[in-house]
Chains A and B, each alone.
Chain A
Amino acid sequence: MRAADPGEVAGQAIHVSETLTAAIGAVDRNAAHATTALYTAHYRSLVGLAVLLVRDASTAEEIVQDSFVAMHTNWRMLRDRGKALWYLRQCVVNRSRSVIRHRMVVDRKVPQLMPDMPSAEQGAMALLERSAVIAALHGLPARQREVLVLRYYADMSEAQIAAALGISRGTVKSHAARAITALRGVLEREA
């Protein structure tokens, strides 16, 4: 067998490099433009979505920014570029759920703060908590809250919610119905 020509290998590497660089450069430009456009149009609403899920503005922003980064990084893997917003939303939801999950673990380990020590988070969320609806919403189980937020804030269909949360459509329906019933009960009691 013919010995490998080192120059040939290097030439191949260069060729691959050139081709990839050109292709990736074009794709990256597209990704940059798309990211910019999506940021301009939807960043705020996505932060709102994350805030409703994680109840923390700074964490919500982090989540949304991470989602943008993830979308940009995986831009080449997006089959349907038109669904980038959908990808972003799902990313935000998944990351919010991860944060909530992480919080649950941390809360188990960390000793509770003294009740007379309001945290920064509480201060930031004071405005949000003023709404009785939001307070009642946060009293719901996490899954029901997610369904309600996605349904009535993100305006996602049941199928989309089911896909985003990884549950069936029927489960989405049942969660939504139970959540609304519970919410109504809470609000009626307060009223």
Chain B
Amino acid sequence: MSQHPGDYEDFLRGALRAAADSVEPAGDGMERIRARLTTPHPLPVAWLMAVCSWVARHARGRLDSVLTWLRTVPGEVHQRGGETAPDGRQMDRLRLVGTVATVAVLMAITVYAVSPLGRQVIEQAGSVLHSIGGEPAGGGELGAGSNDNAPAGGSGAVPGAQQPAQPASSCPPSAPAVAEPSASPSPDGTSPAGTTSPGPAAVGTSPGGAASTGPDTGGATSTGPDAAGTSPGGAASTGPDAGGATSTGPDQDGATSTGPDQDGATSTGPAAAGTAGPGSPAGAASPGPTPCASPSASPRPSSPGSSAASAPPASTAPSSAPPASTAPAGSSSPSTTPAGSSSPSTTPAGSSTPSTTPASSSSSGTPPADSSPASPGSASPPAASPAPVTDPGPGTGSAGTGDSAGG
């Protein structure tokens, strides 16, 4: 081959191209990428950052005070008299001990916060404090399904609304249930988490709308006032609905979604009552046992535009709200809507429906397997996003329509 170097390079280039082009990649590459991207996001970034910032701020202040005190000690010793000769070594030792102790405490706090157990405890504490202090909840981590994956509440149809306040979207899939009442055990045992929540959060929704966060699978049941219309029934039954108990949006349009449940129970009432759309199997108002339900549901005055957080007296924090509306499946009592709820909120499961939530997680409220786009009864279309990559979003939570909502 006595070709010109340039020709030889072209020849080599052509051969390489031909060889590479002969390889036909499988057609499901995008699906595989999407599957890998939709793994749950493990890190509750928001809580971690908040705690860390709080710890850093307060620790710095305390450290300053300690240092100030340490600086004053030598002076005091001096002032106490010359008979007690100021021992420089002692002072140094004292300072050293103080510094070491402070650093040790800081490290312990940090390690505790970073470790999963610590995070869990912090989340629990946060939710409890929320419920006690009546502070806004919705402290969602970025966990499950940020805007993108939460079709209704998450991506928010209201442009101006602050998306982030999606309640359930913040639930990390792996996060344990946080001091929430477990989902009502249905008598027949068929209704896992999706049935009518015992939790006040379930029906104790705001008059404006249900900020209730469903215990739904991915925890991406973020709903908001703007969530209305996402579900066929008019209710913003969003989320995986695997549990069928996705929270509903306030449905500001006032549409009363009568969603015939799978089992025949028609969940009637204004959408604020948390009626589920026809898509939701059990049509149950969202129970509260979502791990992050309590933080997310309570209204946050500072974010008026936010979807769920703006729901006025939601107070879905289970601990703060009366344990009413624990209408387990089978009980005929209408859900006792807490005061302020403008809607009668006929709890679907309160009706005779045994609330057979199909794919819902167990009634223990454990965060179920995430994103099951094609979960039965899901009001949102399963992964109808045109974009191949449904936003991997930290969470998988929602029914996978996230990116489609986001464009």
CB distance from A3 to the nearest CB of B (A): 10
A7, A57, A187: the one within 8 Å of B135 (CB) = A7
Bin the interface of chain A by size. 35 or more
Residue in A closest to B15 when the chains form the complex, CB atoms: A133
CB distance from A34 to the nearest CB of B (A): 9
Chain B residues contacting A7 (CB-CB under 8 Å) are 129-130, 133-135
CA separation between A5 and B141, bound complex, in Å?
20
Chain B residues contacting A127 (CB-CB under 8 Å) are 22
Chain A residues contacting B23 (CB-CB under 8 Å) are 47-48, 51, 57, 60, 128
CB distance from A181 to the nearest CB of B (A): 10
**B135 close to A11 (CB less than 8 A):** yes
Chain A residues contacting B388 (CB-CB under 8 Å) are 35-36, 39
Contact with A along B90-132 (1 / 0, CB 8 A): 0000000000000000000000000000000000011001101
User: What is the predominant secondary structure among interface residues of chain B facing chain A?
Assistant: helix
CA separation between A29 and B403, bound complex, in Å?
7
Chain B residues contacting A29 (CB-CB under 8 Å) are 148, 391, 403, 406-407
Count of inter-chain pairs, beta carbons less than 8 A: 231
CA separation between A60 and B392, bound complex, in Å?
22
**B387 close to A33 (CB less than 8 A):** yes
CA separation between A188 and B11, bound complex, in Å?
14
CB distance from A20 to the nearest CB of B (A): 6
User: What is the predominant secondary structure among interface residues of chain A facing chain B?
Assistant: helix
Chain A residues contacting B390 (CB-CB under 8 Å) are 32
**B33 close to A68 (CB less than 8 A):** yes
Residue in A closest to B54 when the chains form the complex, CB atoms: A9
The chain B residues found within 8 Å of chain A, CB to CB, are 1, 5, 8-9, 11-13, 15-23, 25-26, 29-30, 32-33, 36-37, 45-47, 49-51, 53-54, 58, 61-62, 65, 125-126, 129-130, 132-142, 146-148, 154-155, 162-166, 169-170, 295, 300, 302-303, 306, 309, 387-394, 403, 406-407
